[in-house]
């Protein structure tokens, strides 16, 4: 019995010896990922806070993980919530914050008159293959270097949903989502939107994968090709003012002479004096009829005749 065990022990010793020479060393994450994380913190692009919390190193399974992961709860110093906390790396956190500040918030204010209050996220870190398909390479999600955005919630409560609003035409919501994709393609290395394939019908996939470099910078993948939507006026825009004369502000208008009273003479209207002086004594009203007379009787004599 002892003789049969010895060969097995010898084989195990040989395997351990081979592993010491590197035959069974575990695969390592590319060094550029850790370097990118460290550089992001060194440049102060992200500062830990109550809404951006450092987590312990994630090491595995396999080469999945991050050296300095973050728990992202909100962006813009807490002003823009994430629908659920996600685990993500420093570079993606910085990229999302800048995207919000420079592109999304101005576009939301221009189209809706309201700012973005929340990003609806499907998720970020997940140790899985591309599109969760067997035999595919690891996704950038496996390194916390990606996020899936399914929509946005505005400060006034309105929701913009990729699945519902992207296919529409001539709406502010659809135009805003196309604005978002176009601006994301200028900032992230991979942007996959509805129409890129059957796996992205309900969200925008954003990541900072390394696809190589070109003469003008990192090579970017943007699918489908970003198109600028037709400009739409804001929802609360008023129609242009009609081309009419401004109404006169009577409080600032120059004083006008009052019209001269009309005197009746022989049953006809007397013409209005052309140059009437408002400071002069008003013209008398002449009595009517053939028996009308003017005399110098005083007021008492006139009063006696009332009622004749």
* pLDDT at site 188: 97
Q: Which whole number is the average pLDDT over 185-204?
A: 95
Q: Which whole number is the average pLDDT over 112-122?
A: 97
Distances (CA, A) of 268 to 262, 274, 283, 288, 292: 10, 18, 16, 11, 16
Compute the distance between CA of residue 39 and CA of residue 36 in angstroms, rounded to an integer.
Answer: 5
* pLDDT at site 270: 47
Copy the structure tokens of residue 196.
């890129």
Compute the distance between CA of residue 64 and CA of residue 47 in angstroms, rounded to an integer.
Answer: 24
Cβ(282)–Cβ(258) under 8 Å? no
- Is residue 211 predicted with pLDDT exceeding 50? yes
- Is residue 138 predicted with pLDDT exceeding 80? yes
Copy the structure tokens of residue 254.
């120059």
Compute the distance between CA of residue 123 and CA of residue 142 in angstroms, rounded to an integer.
Answer: 11
Cβ-proximal residues to 75 (8 Å cutoff; 6+ apart), any chain: 51, 82, 93, 96, 97, 100, 119
Taking the alpha carbons of 169, 170, 173, 174 in that order, is the dihedral positive or negative? Answer: positive
Compute the distance between CA of residue 188 and CA of residue 271 in angstroms, rounded to an integer.
Answer: 84
pLDDT band, residue 50 (cuts 50/70/90): very high
Taking the alpha carbons of 29, 185, 53, 162 in that order, is the dihedral positive or negative? Answer: negative
Q: What is the residue-averaged pLDDT of the chain?
A: 79
Owner of token pair 């409560």: 157
Copy the structure tokens of residue 48.
């830990």
Compute the distance between CA of residue 177 and CA of residue 95 in angstroms, rounded to an integer.
Answer: 18
Q: Which tens digits make up the pLDDT trace of 64-82?
A: 999 999 999 999 999 999 9
- Is residue 193 predicted with pLDDT exceeding 70? yes
- For the chain, report the end-to-end CA distance as a whole number of angstroms: 160
The runs of H, that is alpha helices, within the chain are 2-20, 31-42, 90-99, 105-112, 162-165, 172-185, 299-304
Cβ-proximal residues to 160 (8 Å cutoff; 6+ apart), any chain: 151, 152, 153, 154, 173, 176, 177
φ, ψ dihedrals at 139, nearest 5°? -75, 160
Compute the distance between CA of residue 244 and CA of residue 218 in angstroms, rounded to an integer.
Answer: 55
Q: Which tens digits make up the pLDDT trace of 219-260?
A: 999 999 998 676 566 555 545 555 555 444 444 445 555 555
What is the domain partition of the chain in residue ranges? Answer: 26-223
């Amino acid at each position: 019995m002892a003789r049969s065990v010895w060969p097995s022990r010898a084989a195990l010793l040989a395997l351990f010896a081979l592993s010491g020479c590197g035959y069974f060393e575990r695969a390592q994450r590319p060094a550029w990922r850790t370097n990118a994380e460290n550089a992001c913190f060194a440049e102060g692009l992200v500062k830990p806070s109550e809404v951006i919390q450092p987590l312990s190193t994630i090491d595995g399974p396999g080469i999945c993980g991050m050296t300095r992961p973050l728990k992202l709860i909100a962006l813009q110093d807490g002003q823009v919530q994430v629908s659920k906390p996600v685990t993500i790396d420093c570079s993606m956190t910085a990229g999302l914050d800048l995207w919000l500040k420079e592109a999304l918030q101005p576009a939301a204010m221009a189209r809706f008159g309201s700012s973005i209050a929340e990003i609806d996220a499907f998720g970020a870190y997940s140790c899985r293959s591309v599109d969760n398909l067997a035999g595919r390479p690891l996704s950038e999600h496996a390194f916390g270097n990606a996020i899936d955005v399914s929509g946005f919630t505005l400060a006034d409560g309105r929701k913009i949903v990729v699945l519902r609003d992207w296919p529409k035409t001539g709406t502010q919501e659809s135009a805003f989502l196309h604005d978002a994709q176009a601006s994301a393609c200028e900032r992230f290395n991979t942007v996959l939107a509805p129409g890129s394939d059957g796996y992205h019908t309900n969200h925008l996939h954003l990541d900072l994968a390394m696809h190589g470099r070109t003469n003008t910078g990192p090579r970017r993948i943007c699918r489908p090709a970003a198109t600028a939507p037709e400009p739409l006026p804001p929802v609360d825009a008023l129609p242009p003012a009609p081309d009419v004369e401004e109404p006169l502000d009577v409080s600032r208008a120059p004083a006008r002479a009052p019209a001269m009273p009309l005197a009746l003479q022989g049953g006809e209207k007397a013409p209005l004096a052309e140059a009437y002086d408002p400071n002069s004594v008003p013209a008398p009203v002449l009595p009517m009829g053939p028996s009308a007379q003017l005399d110098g009787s005083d007021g008492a004599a006139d009063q006696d005749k009332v009622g004749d």
